Chain A
Amino acid sequence: MALLEIDQLSVAFDTEGDTVTVVDRVGFDVEAGETLGIVGESGCGKSVTALTIMGLLPKPSGRVQGGDIRFRGESLPNLPPERMRDIRGNRIAMIFQEPMTALNPVHRIGRQLAETYALHQADLPDEAVYRRTLGLLEQVGIPAPEQRLREYPHQLSGGMRQRVMIAIALASKPDILIADEPTTALDVTIQAQILELLRELQRETGMAIIFITHDLGVIAELCSRVVVMYAGRVAEQAPIEQLFAHPVHPYTRGLLASIPRLEDEPKTMLTTIPGVVPSIEELPSGCRFANRCPYVKDLCNRDAPELLAASQGHQVACHRWREVDAVALEKWGS
Chain B
Amino acid sequence: MSTGSNEPLLRVRGLTKHFPVRSGIFLRTTGHVHAVDDVSFDLDIGETVGLVGESGCGKSTVGKTLLRLHEPTAGQVVFEGRDITTMGRKALRQLRRDIQIILQDPFESLNARHTVGKILEEPFVIHRLGTPQERRRWAAELLERVGLSPAAASRFPHEFSGGQRQRIGIARAIALRPKLIVCDEAVSALDVSIQSQIINLLLDLQREMHLALIFIAHDLAVVKHVSDRIAVMYLGEVVETATAHDIYASPRHPYTQALISAIPLPDPTADRDRVVLVGDVPSPIHPPSGCRFHTRCRHARDDCRQRKPELDSLRDGASVACHYWRGLS
A255 to B195 alpha-carbon distance, docked (Å): 11
A188 within 8 A of B: yes
> Do B262 and A192 touch across chains, with their CB atoms under 8 A apart?
yes
If A264-B225, A267-B228 touch, whether A220 touches B262 (CB-CB below 8 Å) is: no
> Do A187 and B224 touch across chains, with their CB atoms under 8 A apart?
no
Q: Residues 234-245 of chain B: 1 if any A CB is under 8 Å from the residue's CB, otherwise 0?
A: 000000000111
If A220-B266, A267-B48 touch, whether A260 touches B225 (CB-CB below 8 Å) is: yes
> Do B277 and A189 touch across chains, with their CB atoms under 8 A apart?
yes
A75 within 8 A of B: no
Which of A187, A244, A263, A266 is B55 in contact with, Cβ under 8 Å?
A: A187
Q: Which of B136-144, B196-204, B311-319 contacts A (4 or more CB under 8 A)?
A: B196-204
In the bound complex, residues from chain B placing their C-beta under 8 Å from that of A159 are: 280
Count how many chain A residues have C-beta atoms less than 8 Å from C-beta atoms of the other chain: 48
> Do B228 and A266 touch across chains, with their CB atoms under 8 A apart?
yes
> Do A196 and B199 touch across chains, with their CB atoms under 8 A apart?
no
If A258-B196, A276-B194 touch, whether A266 touches B224 (CB-CB below 8 Å) is: yes
Which of A214, A265, A267 is B191 in contact with, Cβ under 8 Å?
A: A214
> Do A192 and B276 touch across chains, with their CB atoms under 8 A apart?
yes
Q: Residues 244-274 of chain A: 1 if any B CB is under 8 Å from the residue's CB, otherwise 0?
A: 1100000000111011111111111111111
A165 within 8 A of B: no
A260 to B192 alpha-carbon distance, docked (Å): 9
> Do A259 and B192 touch across chains, with their CB atoms under 8 A apart?
yes
A193 within 8 A of B: yes
A261 to B225 alpha-carbon distance, docked (Å): 8
A266 to B245 alpha-carbon distance, docked (Å): 7
**Measured between C-beta atoms, what is the minimum distance from A189 to chain B in Å?**
4
Which of A189, A264, A265, A271 is B262 in contact with, Cβ under 8 Å?
A: A189
Q: Looking across the interface, which residue of chain B has its beta carbon closest to that of A271?
A: B196
A217 to B200 alpha-carbon distance, docked (Å): 21
> Do A262 and B54 touch across chains, with their CB atoms under 8 A apart?
no
In the bound complex, residues from chain B placing their C-beta under 8 Å from that of A177 are: none
If A188-B218, A276-B164 touch, whether A267 touches B192 (CB-CB below 8 Å) is: no
Q: Residues 252-289 of chain B: 1 if any A CB is under 8 Å from the residue's CB, otherwise 0?
A: 00000011111111111110001011101100000000
Which of A195, A254, A263, A266 is B264 in contact with, Cβ under 8 Å?
A: A195
> Do B280 and A269 touch across chains, with their CB atoms under 8 A apart?
no
In the bound complex, residues from chain B placing their C-beta under 8 Å from that of A265 are: 245
**Measured between C-beta atoms, what is the minimum distance from A108 to chain B in Å?**
20
A193 to B277 alpha-carbon distance, docked (Å): 8
B193 within 8 A of A: yes
Residue of A256, A263, A270, A271 with most chain B CB atoms under a 10 A cut-off? A270
Count how many chain B residues have C-beta atoms less than 8 Å from C-beta atoms of the other chain: 50
B163 within 8 A of A: yes
Q: Residues 294-320 of chain A: 1 if any B CB is under 8 Å from the residue's CB, otherwise 0?
A: 000000000000000000000000000
A162 to B220 alpha-carbon distance, docked (Å): 23
A20 within 8 A of B: no
**Measured between C-beta atoms, what is the minimum distance from B27 to chain A in Å?**
20
> Do A258 and B280 touch across chains, with their CB atoms under 8 A apart?
no
Q: Residues 149-183 of chain A: 1 if any B CB is under 8 Å from the residue's CB, otherwise 0?
A: 00000000101100000000000000000000000
> Do B263 and A157 touch across chains, with their CB atoms under 8 A apart?
no
In the bound complex, residues from chain A placing their C-beta under 8 Å from that of B258 are: 189
A216 within 8 A of B: yes
Residue of B162, B191, B260, B261 with most chain A CB atoms under a 10 A cut-off? B191
In the bound complex, residues from chain A placing their C-beta under 8 Å from that of B129 are: none
Q: Looking across the interface, which residue of chain B has its beta carbon closest to that of A41?
A: B191
A190 to B164 alpha-carbon distance, docked (Å): 31
B221 within 8 A of A: yes
In the bound complex, residues from chain B placing their C-beta under 8 Å from that of A245 are: 269
Which of B193, B218, B274 is A41 in contact with, Cβ under 8 Å?
A: B193
> Do B225 and A276 touch across chains, with their CB atoms under 8 A apart?
no
In the bound complex, residues from chain A placing their C-beta under 8 Å from that of B264 are: 191-192, 195, 215, 217-218, 220-221
Which of B224, B266, B276 is A196 in contact with, Cβ under 8 Å?
A: B276
In the bound complex, residues from chain B placing their C-beta under 8 Å from that of A255 are: 192-193
**Measured between C-beta atoms, what is the minimum distance from B53 to chain A in Å?**
9
> Do A160 and B280 touch across chains, with their CB atoms under 8 A apart?
yes
In the bound complex, residues from chain B placing their C-beta under 8 Å from that of A188 are: 54, 218-220, 259, 262-263
In the bound complex, residues from chain A placing their C-beta under 8 Å from that of B194 are: 41, 276
In the bound complex, residues from chain A placing their C-beta under 8 Å from that of B266 are: 216-217, 219-220, 244, 256, 259, 261
Q: Looking across the interface, which residue of chain B has its beta carbon closest to that of A244?
A: B268
Q: Looking across the interface, which residue of chain A has its beta carbon closest to that of B163?
A: A276
B74 within 8 A of A: no
A258 to B191 alpha-carbon distance, docked (Å): 10
Chain A to chain B contacts (Cβ below 8 Å), 24 pairs: A41-B191, A41-B193, A191-B262, A191-B264, A195-B264, A196-B276, A215-B264, A217-B263, A220-B265, A220-B266, A220-B268, A241-B268, A256-B266, A259-B266, A260-B196, A262-B224, A263-B248, A264-B221, A264-B225, A267-B48, A268-B225, A271-B196, A274-B197, A276-B164
A188-B262, A216-B266, A255-B192 given; name 5 further pairs at CB < 8 Å.
A192-B277, A214-B192, A241-B268, A270-B199, A273-B196
Query: A-contacting residues of B (Cβ < 8 Å)?
Result: 48, 54-55, 161-164, 191-197, 199-200, 203, 218-222, 224-228, 243-245, 248, 258-270, 274, 276-278, 280-281
